[in-house]
Structure 1
Amino acid sequence: MAFKLRERVFELLKEVPGKEWAPQDLAKELANRYPDECQAKLDRSAALETQDELVQQLAREIFGSRRRWEAGYATLRSAGKNPVRLRWQNGSAGMPVAEDVEQTKIALNQILFGPPGTGKTYQIVEAALEVLDPTFLANQVRESGTDAELRGKLKKRFDELEAEGRICFTTFHQSFSYEDFVEGLRAVVDDSGQVQYNVEPGVFKRLCDQARTSGAVLGVGVRSNPRIWKISINGTFGSTELGYCLAHGEARIGWGRTGDLRQEERNEYYKERGSNDQNTLNAFSREIAPGDILVCIHSAEDISAVGVVSGEYRFEATVPSPLRSDYQHVLPVTWLYKDLHLPIAPLNGERSFTQKTVYPLDRFTWGDLLSYLDSKGAKPVKPMGTAEQPRLPYVLLIDEINRGNVARIFGELITLIEPSKREGAPEALSVQLPYSKKPFSVPDNVYMIGTMNTADRSLAAMDIALRRRFSFVEMPPRAELLEGLEVEGVSIELLLTTLNRRVEALLDRDHCLGHAYFMPLWGDTRIERLAMIFRQQILPLLQEYFFEDWQRIHWVLNDHRKNDAEDRFLQECPADIDELFGEGVSVGRRTSQWIINDEAFDRIEAYLGVIDHKAAAESHAAVHEVLYEDWLVRKLVSGSIEVKINGAPVGSTMRALRDIAARLAVPLHYAGGGKLNTRALGQRIIQEIEARR
């Protein structure tokens, strides 16, 4: 029993005219009124287990149809199906349109699943915006005049967010690994020609690092992807200079006799310094930029403080008492963490600090450092940011998530992506990554949205650990989106519905055909476009589904019930085994061959016959026919061309037309060079024969 969502919505709207419905409320009412149909839908779905999940799915389907219902409002009203306009109270399936659209109801991990061609990848644009900018999404849905206008605005905003680094897109495949997703070793050649193996973060870790440092920490002046520098202020912890700097928001180093390092000329004192000292002075005065991070040491093994550089380098001619007189090189610093006593080795590849006063720390990122401090319970001097500066959400989009080896790709992180195990949650967990040996946790502002093709692997065959940690949103074929679309009298909605009923009967609902294959017909309703879709997409997909079991494909296309062989997409030809292999050779049960009838793709009767073979037979009446020698060329009511010779149908209409064209000197190509199809060539031949009479 199919749930006829569109019909049921119209029935309800007519009963309660003028009521302002939210998709969620409408879905609840439908579930109460039609329990048998809802239960049947629940039984058919592998992802829906409870009544609440079914209501959520119905709400999504109702909201997803909003553009088509609004566009067809005038027609529906004149037909009496929908006497009042459907008022969209919600900006999404469960969220009100308001200036402060909330994100609390959006799952952190979700997968859009369904057969090929149901718009899963297309839908991720809206899914990402529902997380990142729900107010913009809701406003555009209400204000955009057409689907094309809406899509253009949403895609533009999506691209902007991707350019900001808040959206990351990847595709899983058989070779995708943990090293690509989390972190791995990469071989690089240094300046001396030696090969080194560096630990490089993968796509997921990079996004997590960026998400962890967003929002609140930006309010204290940390720049995007800051460099991290080690600094020792007059040795290790306890010096007068270090205490003064921490108290007064500064970082200082000695060698004051060099003078102001902003000057291009260097004095003799500077030139007498060793290379390490010169590198330190240049880094402090020229390379460290506002927004970079300083890690001040407690000892050779421990961190004492962490701060962000808040201004430009300066040189002080007079040093405040009681500091050493040569500590004249100054950087303004906002010290974020003080009084630390934490080992640097877990972050720095198990290495201690060296004696050099200032140098970059390249083995870890700002995100790594924040995660490490959080895991050790370190508290900032004051909260970084305010309640008005929450961490911005980030989205990882994973296309074809079921094509990768999930256990191999996620590794130990499969546990950390659970909402209850995210950073900041009461039961938060962190792990030590295998290559970098750094602690890692997943921030609570990282959303994961995947797409899953059920024809590649069914939901039931998915990794149980993955299924338990993701919310699944079913995206079935939606033939109703093709309502009113016709190609020369063939209802595309009915064509898709009929094909899917047969596929589901022979296989299952995971292997249906998606509506997206036929959506281009809205802009081009010529039979040539439909033929291209069937020839290049539908038939190859059926071949894949049925492992080239041509007999069952023959059944799906209803070819076995079509009276006219020219209307059959697939034709069965008996094989002469004795001629092929000689007498006495047994080749088993398969004694026939299947051929694809190219001419059927250009005949509208072939598509009518998929829906109803009787309707195809009725369409064979001729509206025009001409006789040339022994050939009778007929133009049918559908526009198709048929050729008979001595009263019997020819084996190939196109071959017969080419023979006639050769005799009449009718060209076989358009002026632009393209080949004429059966219809176009037949029409030209009819015109030429009549012109010669």
Structure 2
Amino acid sequence: MNQILYGPPGTGKTHATIKETLRILDPAHLQTYEDSPKKLKERFDALITSEQARFVTFHQSYSYEDFVEGLRATTNDDKQPEYVIEPGVFKRLCDDARTQGVQPNAGIRSNPRIWKISINGSGASPTKNYCINHGEARIGWGDTGDLRAEERNDYYKKLGIGDQGTLTYFAQDIVPGDILLMLHSAEMIGAVGVVTGDYRYDEMTPDGIRDDYQHVRLVTWLYHDLKLSILPLNDNKQLTLKTVYPIDRFTWGDLLSYLEQSGVVPVKGNDATGERKPHVLIIDEINRGNISRIFGELITLIEPSKRVGKEDALIAVLPYSKKPFSVPDNVYLIGTMNTADRSLAGLDIALRRRFTFKEMPPRPDLLDGTVVKGANMEGVNIGLMLRKMNERIEVLLDRDHCLGHAYFMPLHDTPTLAGLGFIFRQQILPLLQEYFFEDWERIAWVLNDQNKSPVQAFVQKASTNLASLFGPGVAENLQNMDRRWRINADAFGNIESYRGIIEVAA
């Protein structure tokens, strides 16, 4: 459920996340097109577009506010600055994972709006019971007539602005797929439903309900008889008396999480345990971020045993929104880790305990059939060359700093000397400079330059006469202190320079 792909740079970790993602989200496609990287990438891109898979890269400045939730500065309608709580990438993913697939036949739209509705006041009533039992939501002011009419009658025109706004909300602004939250009292939710039909007006009301409750919307009531406090979700604020209005303090994901954590069961026939789509978050360079700062309390919640529905499930209260939060069991985390930046031993212990690790070592065997030839038709086996360089790096540094095969994979289809020279000049040599902190002598050892003729060496010692710079006396003292090296540009176009990497004898 939580895994990290780790290895030196250039071993295809980021590319491997495509297969790992498809293994979770679309295993049939992976099995059919496993040998077609293009088809796999196309399907992966489609999953990214649909946000069933998401991608983020950790860095030193990445924070909890980016990952979970935080305050964002914005301006209101009056152009005044204000701060709003905005969910981060992980919370958005969890909210979608929690809601997609739930009530699959109920018609809940993506990111539905939540509306508070009061049907005949608080507490129980025949009108409220009728609506619950017959799949409806009704409100009063029936003397206005049909709100779809082009002209409004005198009764409507005499209503206050607030009441007119309520009728507009009910007849026009609420759309099928939105969520209705019926109050039981100012502090308690009585029922939760999804709007399934457009507005209609009943000339005659059914027996047993209020005569003026003629404005109607069809609703599938998913939960009722709740008597569940609204305060933890609504910033400890009660619901107001207005009959219909939108609720912006929490989302459908927040509400569903709260219902699940409260042990609420949906009514029979509205099974909320339908299969939920798995969701994947890919965290590239996971070891480059400050894990404690980014994950916060989530470092415990992401454990498989602590997910929603598990025996040891945990709930945390988020510090900004003060809302209860848990991690669904259909969320998968895939991280990549460059061991050249930080070894596995140096990784945060809390993170290591909650992830499984899959090593991605260099694969020189993938290049054993790749041969680059020079003008004299002499060739160099790229797989053997890479293997030799990595063996030397392991001796001089460690296996975490080996060179990945991905750098040389372009040569698999186009094995040209120019292409090999470009790879060495632009990628391999700069990487070795970083690894060895520009210790050119050790870089030369990796390239076996000490066993080549000077014209074949990639790295050459400077040949300036020290006596001409400092005089004979000083030059003798500096002879073993001269650390000047130069890069031999001609070697990048010389096939013997690459062949010499393999051969130890001059």
TM-score under structure 1 length normalisation: 0.70
Q: 2:411 and 2:148 mapped to 1: Cα distance?
A: 67
Letter in 1 for 2:482: T
Whether 1:179 and 2:70 are equivalent positions in the alignment is no
Letter in 2 for 1:135: A
Equivalent position of 2:223 in the other structure: 337
CA contact (8 A) 1:237 1:299 kept: yes
Whether 1:128 and 2:18 are equivalent positions in the alignment is no
Q: 1:436 and 1:276 mapped to 2: Cα distance?
A: 29
Deviations for 1:565-624, whole angstroms, at most 9, x for unmatched residues? 11110011156667657887998964231111111100001001111154xx6xxxxxxx
Root-mean-square deviation (CA, aligned residues, Å) is 1.8
Helix, strand or coil at the partner of 1:127: helix
Q: 2:312 and 2:199 mapped to 1: Cα distance?
A: 43
Whether 1:301 and 2:190 are equivalent positions in the alignment is no
Q: 2:224 and 2:417 mapped to 1: Cα distance?
A: 74
Distance change in 2, residues 1:383/1:397 (3 Å)? farther
Helix, strand or coil at the partner of 2:65: helix
Give the one of 446, 451, 459 matched to 1:570: 459
Q: 1:268 and 1:574 mapped to 2: Cα distance?
A: 102
Equivalent position of 2:370 in the other structure: 485
Distance change in 2, residues 1:357/1:575 (3 Å)? farther
CA contact (8 A) 1:574 1:592 kept: no
In the TM superposition, residue 505 of structure 1 has moved relative to its aligned partner by 0.6
Equivalent position of 2:351 in the other structure: 466
In the TM superposition, residue 434 of structure 1 has moved relative to its aligned partner by 0.4
Q: 2:2 and 2:269 mapped to 1: Cα distance?
A: 29
Equivalent position of 1:234 in the other structure: 120
Deviates more, 1:587-596 or 1:604-613: 587-596
> Paired residues, what number?
499
CA contact (8 A) 2:119 2:138 kept: yes
Q: 1:214 and 1:206 mapped to 2: Cα distance?
A: 12
Distance change in 2, residues 1:561/1:588 (3 Å)? closer
Q: 1:447 and 1:275 mapped to 2: Cα distance?
A: 49
Give the one of 396, 399, 405 matched to 2:284: 399
In the TM superposition, residue 495 of structure 1 has moved relative to its aligned partner by 0.5
Letter in 2 for 1:351: K
> Which of these two proteins has the greater Rg computed from alpha carbons?
1
Equivalent position of 1:117 in the other structure: 10
Deviates more, 1:309-318 or 1:590-599: 590-599
Equivalent position of 2:384 in the other structure: 494
Helix, strand or coil at the partner of 2:77: coil
Q: 1:384 and 1:421 mapped to 2: Cα distance?
A: 26
Q: 1:472 and 1:384 mapped to 2: Cα distance?
A: 40
Equivalent position of 1:42 in the other structure: none
Letter in 1 for 2:324: P
Q: 1:202 and 1:190 mapped to 2: Cα distance?
A: 21
Letter in 2 for 1:116: P
Query: Gapped runs of 5+ residues in structure 2?
Result: 374-378
Q: 2:269 and 2:48 mapped to 1: Cα distance?
A: 29
Distance change in 2, residues 1:450/1:570 (3 Å)? same
Larger % of helix: which?
1
Letter in 1 for 2:264: A
Give the one of 365, 380, 403 matched to 2:266: 380
Q: 1:251 and 1:302 mapped to 2: Cα distance?
A: 18
What are the residue-to-residue correspondences of 1:348-367 with 2, within 5 Å?
348-367=234-253
Query: Gapped runs of 5+ residues in structure 1?
Result: 1-107, 142-146, 618-693
Q: 2:240 and 2:481 mapped to 1: Cα distance?
A: 78
Equivalent position of 1:596 in the other structure: 487
Helix, strand or coil at the partner of 2:226: coil
Helix, strand or coil at the partner of 1:341: strand
Letter in 2 for 1:567: Q
Q: 1:502 and 1:468 mapped to 2: Cα distance?
A: 33
In the TM superposition, residue 313 of structure 1 has moved relative to its aligned partner by 1.0
Q: 2:124 and 2:478 mapped to 1: Cα distance?
A: 92
CA contact (8 A) 2:68 2:88 kept: yes
Q: 1:511 and 1:131 mapped to 2: Cα distance?
A: 30
Letter in 2 for 1:454: T
Give the one of 292, 296, 317 matched to 1:432: 317
Equivalent position of 2:299 in the other structure: 414
TM-score under structure 2 length normalisation: 0.95
Identity of aligned residues (%): 61
Q: 1:588 and 1:409 mapped to 2: Cα distance?
A: 52
Distance change in 2, residues 1:490/1:219 (3 Å)? same
Q: 2:270 and 2:337 mapped to 1: Cα distance?
A: 39
Deviations for 1:259-278, whole angstroms, at most 9, x for unmatched residues? 11122322222222222111
Distance change in 2, residues 1:358/1:578 (3 Å)? farther
In the TM superposition, residue 161 of structure 1 has moved relative to its aligned partner by 1.9
In the TM superposition, residue 383 of structure 1 has moved relative to its aligned partner by 5.9
Query: RCO (CA 8 Å, sep 6+): is it higher in 1 or 2?
Result: 2
Give the one of 292, 298, 301 matched to 2:178: 292
Whether 1:526 and 2:446 are equivalent positions in the alignment is no
Helix, strand or coil at the partner of 2:181: strand
Deviations for 1:465-519, whole angstroms, at most 9, x for unmatched residues? 1001001010000001112100011000000000000001111110000000000
Deviates more, 1:262-271 or 1:113-122: 262-271
Distance change in 2, residues 1:342/1:579 (3 Å)? farther
CA contact (8 A) 2:306 2:312 kept: yes
